[in-house]
Amino acid sequence: MRSRYCAYVVGAGDYLLATWHTDTRPLRVELAPVPRWLGLELRRHLPLGSDAATVEFVARYRVSGRAGRLHEISRFVREDGRWFYVDGEFPRPNERSAVLRGAAGQG
């Protein structure tokens, strides 16, 4: 998770694609407009067995002087010892704990 955030910060689209699971990987990653990333807060990590996990995070950024936040609950899987991003959901403010409880039941 942290390495993918760093890849967004430095604009490393190739790294983002390489760490995206093949089942959900897009053909390319559009990194424009380039935000100024301000920080990453990891809120929760929920292991779903030894080779899957859910991570909730908030990334803060600024684009053209306007502040924003990306709040996501992401799914990751491990294959051949490497972690891959599968997909994510953007929770509504009161939905976070329900989404994570539901993910815990999927393991």
Residue 35 pLDDT greater than 60, yes or no: yes
Residue 32 pLDDT greater than 90, yes or no: no
Residue 107 pLDDT greater than 50, yes or no: no
State the pLDDT at residue 5. 96
CA distance 3 to 18: 12
State the pLDDT at residue 100. 52
Residue 98 pLDDT greater than 70, yes or no: no
What are 46's two structure tokens?
């929920």
Cα torsion at 3, 63, 99, 40 (round to 10°)? Answer: 40
What is the CATH code for 2-104?
Answer: 3.10.450.50
CA distance 77 to 79: 7
| pLDDT single digits (tens) 49-97 | 999 999 999 999 999 999 999 999 999 999 999 999 999 999 987 665 5
How far CA 53 is from CA of 62, 77, 87, 93, in Å, comes to: 29, 6, 11, 21
Residues 6+ positions from 84 with CB-CB distance below 8 Å = 19, 20, 21, 22, 76, 77, 78
State yes or no: cis peptide before 91, omega within 30 of 0. Answer: no
Contact present, 42 and 57 (Cβ < 8 Å)? yes
Domain ranges of the chain: 2-104
What are 107's two structure tokens?
């393991």
Higher pLDDT, 12 or 104: 12
Instruction: Give 20's strand partners.
Output: 85
State the pLDDT at residue 53. 98
